[in-house]
Amino acid sequence: MTSPKLRLLCAAIALYCGSTIAQTPAPQPTEPAKAEKSDKDAPPTAKPAAKPAPKTESIEVTSGQVYDERKDDTATKLVVNSAEIMKFGDTQLADVLKRLPGITVQGSSIRMRGLGNGYTQILIDGERAPPGFTIDQLSPTAIERVEILRAATAEFSTQSIAGTINIVLKKKVSLAQREVRAVYAQGSFYKSPSANFVVSDKEGNFSYSVNGYVYGNKNNYPYSSTETGFDAIGNRILFRASSGLSEGTGKGGGIGPRLNWTLKNGDTLTWASFLNFNHGDGNGVFRYDSLVGSPPPTNSVTSRYEYVNDFVRTDLNWITKLAEGAKLDTKLGISVNVSRNNNNSRGFNATNQQNLARSNEGSSRERSATFTGKYSTPIIEGHSLVAGWDTGVSKRKAESRQRDIPFPGVLPAITPINTAEDFDAEIVKLAAFAQDEWNVSKQWSVYLGLRWEGLTTTSEGSSYNTITNRSSVWSPIAQTLFKLPDRKGEQIRLALTRTYKAPNTNSLIPRRFTSIENKPTSPDSQGNPDLRPELATGIDIALEKFWDQGASVSLSAALRRITDYNRQGLRFINNRWVQLPVNDGTANTRSLEFDAKLPLQKFYPTAPGIDFRLNMNRNWSQVDAVPGPNNRLDQQTPFSGTAGLDYRMKNGVVSAGGSYSFRSGGDVRTSVNQIASLTAKRDLDIYALWKVTPKTQLRLTLSNILKPPSVNQNIYFDSFGRTVTSNNTPSKPNVRL
């Protein structure tokens, strides 16, 4: 399809861009010239650092200077708008994020630079999500945009060693809207109908919007595993093959009303709430076949479970306009999360005699309140000064009960483990920050920020004494943007950051969770009250090239030096294997990222309306306390890439596209005696959209077309031999209408 002229032009572009870099694509050409910002989202700022003078020879007619957050903000930021979010008709936010530049999804872990598990920070409207809340409780239809920040800023929490993903919910109402979406998704292992709606309107100084959704699902997921044991000289002494099936149903929904008032003095008042519920139940069957060696104490297990997770949050936001363009933005938030789960299991020996009946019941109630604010002023010419605070308190009360019923005379006998634990935890957060963005010249801007953040965690329980853990971190941050003179659209970014990763509450509480068959590959687990936060010093550099029509190319690199690294340690305590988090020295991580977004018509005007996008990431890391090779941090993804294209007809009636992503696997040395291994994963998703009428459209999406299985291995070895456990979870293509 490509002509010699097109091939020659593409080659010239590739050579010209070889020395440039950028982190993310510019906005779609169909976006407004200036990104819409609420008063809350955009503090008063000076003019962009590189506001080009009007070109008298240009024949393009514009309504004013184009301002692009991605290109012109000193602090690097990629903004993904709602049209991009809904392109594939996803019903879960994790499916949206996996296609975004520089982001990978590994199970339930959202990762930047190949790192998750707290290294990547997830924010909702600029605040950390309340305890117990997960992003899958948000419907993509309720999201206005997603901001990806690869380097920290003082305004947000600096618990962002790998970066920050800020999910901004829909706020402004400009036109009346009535929208209903119905979705039916089906794969080989599940069925899930869902529906969502949006209602919004505006009258004078008052506006409102209501987002809501409901869903149901039915699933039956098979899985299998093998366990192989070898002695010190390599003889196989154990081989078990196991298989199982988990069947369940779930239902849930949510509603998010938002009311906005503009007062006579220009102040704005916003009340927003979000209520979400998720309920489900199911059963599972799991069986071992012991081909070499003795069978486990429970050769087969049947279980029945149910869960409830309800969440509600309400916020009151007041923005006060002050003299000389200054403003004060304050917000008070309250949230409650209630969860319950029950699991009843029955175990059977190799002759199918029941030798275990275990019931587990757990419940928790979490209440939190936050009060945040920031004062911003452009009082000094060329500067945008912001200072603020971030405070919050969270209280959690939890109960856990385990009851085992023994079966005398049935061998092998299992020692009952009966527990009844209650615990309370309180987390108090205090933070203050100040930052300034200074436009030194038309080509050069500088960002300086300083944030202090302190956390105090207090916990007491029926099985341990009161424990208090305090930590605080100072985070100085500097970023700069330099636009190369006489090189239109070419620029360089540099950032120096101080970030950290605080232990989560469960990691600090020494409450023991026991396993049925205690061994190195399935140990008990508990928290460590002496755990300290990880501290990271980082540097980021990027070269970027922007054209009009949303075209961009970038290359960026990052380095982090981490002290007090947290990892899972394995100990033998009181004749049982126990896994608990420990601080263990230092770690280093390095990343290299290439990103490009190229509308074909920009370089070949008569070409079809096709946009290409490409993102590639290469990551390296080493944990000093763990011997190599492959002693990577947090099972870091070494390489990931995403390639996609979108096509649209000239009349806009039909559009289609696809996305292919790759995530490498391999061995990871997680400790002196443990190795984890993941297989590479390939994903292919495609969509087609037909606008039947201006107000009615039909979307078809095929996802997981390559149906890659999820296979992982865990290896434990010592002087007595080694044990290899492999788990295999199949997958199938999914269709969504």
Residue 11 within a domain: no
- Cβ(636)–Cβ(630) under 8 Å? no
pLDDT of residue 65: 53
Q: Is residue 100 part of a domain?
A: yes
pLDDT for residue 443 is more than 80:
yes
- Position 188 scores a pLDDT of 78
- Rounded to the nearest angstrom, the gap between the alpha carbon of residue 1 and the centroid of all alpha carbons in its chain is 39
Q: Do 638 and 651 touch, CB atoms closer than 8 A?
A: no
Domain residues for 604? 19-736
Residue 8 is assigned to a structural domain of this protein: no
pLDDT value at residue 66: 61
When mean pLDDT is compared over 94-108, 263-277, 441-455, the highest value belongs to: 441-455
Q: Is the per-residue pLDDT at 555 higher than 80? A: yes
Mean pLDDT value across the chain: 86
Residue 3 lies in a domain: no
Separation of CA 620 from chain center: 20
pLDDT at 28: 39
User: Count of domains in the chain?
Assistant: 1
pLDDT above 90 as % of the chain: 49
- Tokens representing 360? 């587990």
SS3 506: helix
Does residue 32 lie within any of the structural domains? yes
Query: Which of 30-34, 61-65, 677-681 has the largest mean confidence?
Result: 677-681
Q: pLDDT tens, 49-76?
A: 444 444 434 344 444 456 677 888 888 8
pLDDT at residue number 56: 39
CB 718 within 8 A of CB 673: yes
Tell me the β-bridge partners of 339: 309, 364
Task: Tell me, yes or no, whether 13 lies in a domain.
Answer: no
Say how far apart CA 572 and CA 313 lie, in whole Å: 42
C-alpha 553/C-alpha 615 separation (Å) is 10
For residue range 191-249, list pLDDT tens digits in order. Answer: 999 998 989 899 889 999 998 989 999 999 898 999 999 999 999 999 999 999 999 99
Greater confidence (17 vs 623) lies with 623
pTM: 0.82
φ, ψ at 544 (rounded to 5°): -135, 150
2 occurs within a structural domain: no
Is 209 inside any structural domain? yes
What pLDDT, on the 0 to 100 scale, is given for residue 131?
62
Distance CA 702, CA 657 (A): 11
Question: For the domain that residue 631 is a member of, what is the CATH number?
Answer: 2.40.170.20
3-state secondary structure 9-37: HHHHHHHHHHHCCCCCCCCCCCCCCECCC
Across the beta sheet with 143-149, the strand order is: 78-81, 143-149, 163-169, 120-124, 127-128
* Per-residue confidence (pLDDT) for residue 498, from 0 to 100: 97
